[in-house]
Structure 1
Amino acid sequence: MITGTRASRHQAITDLLTRHEVQSQTQLSQLLAEQGFSVTQATLSRDLDELGAVKLRREGQLVYAVAAEGGDGLTVASLGEPDGRLRKVCNDLLVSAEWAENLVVLKTPPGGASLLASAIDHARPQDVLGTIAGDDTIMVITTSRAAAPVVTEHFLQLAQGQA
């Protein structure tokens, strides 16, 4: 592996976050050092920001996660089938959900929207055409006006562990 490039470092970070439940930048820096990467705290912080990394609650602890390449969801541990992953990510990240016309607006903590949108896209819930994610807001496009309140309620139930 070429360890001098930014792209190789980003790939190593993504791989490490896939295989390990990393709780701190110090821990991640040590794991990178074991692979031959020497990074400063500032560089590592910038890398995590560029990768869109966020911290998720996992078994009572906060761990780093990034969206997988190709939009395949989270790279922290196996979250099971698409509905199971969507349930877990909604529970971890969904702050609020409201609808208007055929749109549902979901709010997450800063940096969490792309992770939740990726989980939604991967699960392909009924009556959802697609998502558009910003930093902390997701717009979910539903198939009809009638579907929007049903989809909104579904996401809220997932977040509360009821679905």
Structure 2
Amino acid sequence: MRKVDRQRLLKNLIQTHEIERQEDFVKLLQAEDIDVTQATISRDIKEMQLIKVPNADEGYHYSLPPEKKLDVKEKLRRILRDAYITHKQQDYFVVIKALPGNGTAIANLLDQMQLSGVFGTIGGDDTVLVICKSEENAKQFTKFIEDLLK
């Protein structure tokens, strides 16, 4: 099972069960025929930044961390400044080239921004394809990217 899928399951388990120990995660996953070790769960807990909060019965259970308000535009600006290589526009499309490993993050941030002229994005390892609603929207998006890079 992929890590992202396993962590999505852990998130769901936290929301539906009061899980007090790492072994509880292992047992619940094994009940779903998912073979996982306590060490793997421990790494997932650390990566997901899970916290323990008090139970009603004086114990503790795992919880998701409080949501942090992220300035998505600022995060996009930082990743572009660190990883940007080039961009090109053709018709309704804009292609952004970045350093390897950054394409999906850039596409995800663009999706989170829900820009009105953007129909959708496709993010690869080092490339993002931005599909705009019109050629004019593509020009506006290109300017938006150029402004972020200033």
Q: Give the partner amino acid of 2:78.
A: K
Moved more, 121-130 or 87-96: 87-96
Q: Which has the higher contact order (CA 8 A, sep 6+)?
A: 1
CA shift, 1:93, in A, is: 2.4
Q: Which of residues 133, 136, 157 in structure 1 aligns to 2:147?
A: 157
Question: Quick check: which has more Rg, 1 or 2?
Answer: 2
Q: Does 1:103 align with 2:136?
A: no
- Aligned counterpart in structure 2 of residue 15 of structure 1, from 23, 36, 48: 48
Correspondence for 1:133 among 110, 123, 133: 123
Structure 1 runs (4+) greater than 6 angstroms displaced = none
Amino acid at match of 1:104: V
Structure 2: segments with no counterpart, 5+ residues: 1-21, 27-35, 51-67
Rounded Cα–Cα distance in structure 2 between residues aligned with 1:89 and 1:126:
21
Taking structure 1 as the reference length, the TM-score comes to 0.52
Deviations 1:81-120 (A, max 9, x none): 2322222222222221111010000011001101111110
Q: CA RMSD in A?
A: 2.8
- For structure 1, the 5+ residue unaligned runs are 19-77
Q: % of aligned pairs identical? A: 24
> Is the Cα–Cα contact under 8 Å of residues 79 and 88 in structure 1 kept in the other structure?
no
* Aligned amino acid, residue 132 of structure 2: T
Q: What is the DSSP-based 3-state SS (H/G/I as helix, E as strand, rest coil) of the residue aligned with 1:95?
A: strand
